[in-house]
Amino acid sequence: MSEFSNSLSVISSALQAQSQRLRHLSENIANADTPGYRRKTISFHTAMSGAETPGVVETGRVRLDQSDLSQIYDPTHPMADETGNYDGSNVNLMIELSDAREAQRSYEANLRMFEQTRQMGRSLFDLLRR
């Protein structure tokens, strides 16, 4: 049974990590038109020996993408400099959307795994029933 509870905690850590990733992605998408916004990224890593259950997924710090901000030409904009440009965000909607799709796919796969583990545990309990 401890194997099952181990898998369940590993899977739930993955679900948590993926949903956190999805949250930052939606923040990025929501702020795609905010001037000066830098897209947020988080990193995943595996917790090995120190954690309660080895193999759980942990999320690292939120980092801001330091790539160049897009320049938008609009001389009437209050933030425009003398050349008529202002800083947009460095969010690329295409990247965010495909990343979101990937996160969703991983989330679903983990959910299936959770269901499978639960079924195995239930069949174990069925032995006691008659």
Partner 1 sequence: MFDKIEVFKMAHAMARHAGSRHAVVAQNMANSDTPGYKAQDIADFQTHLAQTTAQPGRGFDMRATRAAHLNMSQTAGNPAGTPAVFDREGAIADPNGNTVSLETEMVHGVNAKRQHDRAMAIYQSSMTILRSSIGRR
Closest approach, Cβ 3 to partner 1, in A, equals 4
Residue 117 within binding range of partner 1, rule CB under 8 A: yes
Residue 23 or residue 105: which is nearer to partner 1 going by CB?
Answer: 105
Residue 102 within binding range of partner 1, rule CB under 8 A: yes
The answer to whether the beta carbons of residues 108 and 94 sit under 8 Å apart is no
Please name every residue paired with 45 in a beta bridge, in sequence order, or none if there are none: 58
Tell me the CA end-to-end span of the chain in Å, nearest whole number.
20
In 3D, which of 86, 99, 87 has the Cα closest to residue 29? 99
22 lies in the site for partner 1, by CB under 8 A? no
Stretch that binds partner 1, among 25-33, 63-71, 84-92, 97-105 (CB under 8 A): 97-105
Find out whether 42 and 19 touch, Cβ atoms under 8 Å: no
β-pairing, 71-73 with 85-87? antiparallel
Q: Which residues of this chain interact with partner 1, rule CB under 8 A?
A: 3-4, 6-7, 10-11, 13-14, 17-18, 21, 43-46, 55-57, 102-103, 105-106, 109-110, 112-113, 116-117, 119-120, 123-124, 126-127
